[in-house]
């Protein structure tokens, strides 16, 4: 009886492993049924930093890779590539997103703002100026994502969007240290400049910019 149970468990584990392996490969289109696979290419029309672009992309291309490799907007950084660090944060149709977790084809007809679209060295966005003033960065790798997220955070607060630390979900959220830290928690700074980042955001919020 014990031997039969062991065999059944082995069969179950083997079947599970085979299923996992089969589903791990992306779907592709057979090229002329020759047994070789070809990527599916799609035309994607997207407005980035106010400029329209039409790209021919493999449908598996992430928005992050489209921005960096096809539009050469390398301000948006590839950190973990798993949506855990926030270095790739951009503003898509008014909302901040991790660009490594979304496909470019999903933003066909959409509008995206990257760090390059917020400001330039000659004409910086108020949030960029505040980050410089408060030393809100050290190595700077996470900074583009931090700034894009910070700009979107203040827009969320102005729009009355509550967070997990909002005491009253029906009341207008306030720009408190707790609110800022909670809303920015998805953006990781390995250098540990969190206090300076919070000070920079608070200053911009107080100025109404």
Q: Are 85 and 146 in contact (CB under 8 A)?
A: no
DSSP string covering 106-146, please?
GGTT-EEE-HHHH--SSS--HHHHHHHHTT--SS-SSHHHH
Domains recognised in the chain with CATH numbers:
38-116 (3.10.20.30), 126-207 (1.10.150.120)
Q: Residue 96: what pLDDT?
A: 98
Q: What angle do CA 160, 98, 120 make, to 5 degrees?
A: 85
pLDDT of residue 17: 60
pLDDT tens per residue, the chain (209 residues)? 555 555 566 676 666 665 555 444 444 444 455 566 778 999 999 999 999 999 999 999 999 999 999 999 999 999 999 999 999 999 999 999 999 999 999 999 999 999 999 999 999 999 999 999 999 999 999 999 999 999 999 999 999 999 999 989 999 999 999 999 999 999 999 999 999 999 999 999 997 65
Is the torsion defined by CA of 113, 152, 100, 177 positive or negative?
Answer: positive
| Strand partners of residue 90 | 97
DSSP count for the chain of H helices, then E strands:
7, 7
DSSP bridge partners of 41: 58
CA separation for the pair 140, 201 (Å, rounded): 16
Only one residue has tokens 């598996």, namely 60
Counting Cβ atoms within 10 Å, is residue 63 exposed (0-12), middle (13-18) or buried (19+)?
buried
pLDDT of 39: 87
Identify the residue whose tokens are 């107080």.
206
- How much is the pTM? 0.81
Sheet holding 111-113, edge to edge: 51-58, 41-48, 111-113, 89-92, 95-98
Beta-strand relationship, 111-113 and 41-48: parallel
């Amino acid at each position: 009886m014990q031997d039969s149970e062991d065999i059944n468990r082995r069969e179950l584990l083997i079947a599970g492993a085979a299923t996992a392996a089969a589903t791990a490969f992306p779907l592709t289109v057979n090229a002329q049924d020759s047994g070789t696979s070809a990527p599916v290419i799609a035309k994607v029309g997207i407005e980035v930093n106010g400029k329209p672009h039409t790209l021919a992309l493999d449908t598996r291309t992430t928005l992050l890779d489209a921005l960096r490799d096809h539009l050469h907007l390398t301000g948006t950084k590839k950190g973990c590539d798993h949506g855990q660090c926030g270095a790739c944060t951009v503003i898509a149709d008014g909302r901040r997103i991790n660009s490594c977790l979304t496909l470019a084809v999903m933003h066909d007809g959409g509008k995206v703002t990257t760090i390059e679209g917020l400001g330039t060295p000659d004409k910086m966005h108020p949030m960029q100026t505040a980050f410089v003033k408060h030393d809100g960065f050290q190595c700077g790798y996470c900074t583009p994502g931090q700034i894009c997220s910070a700009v979107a955070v203040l827009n969320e607060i102005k729009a009355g969007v509550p967070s997990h630390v909002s005491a009253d979900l029906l009341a207008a959220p306030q720009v408190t240290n707790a609110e800022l830290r909670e809303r920015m928690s998805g953006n990781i700074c390995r250098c540990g400049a969190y206090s300076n980042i919070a000070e920079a955001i608070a200053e911009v919020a107080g100025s109404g910019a």
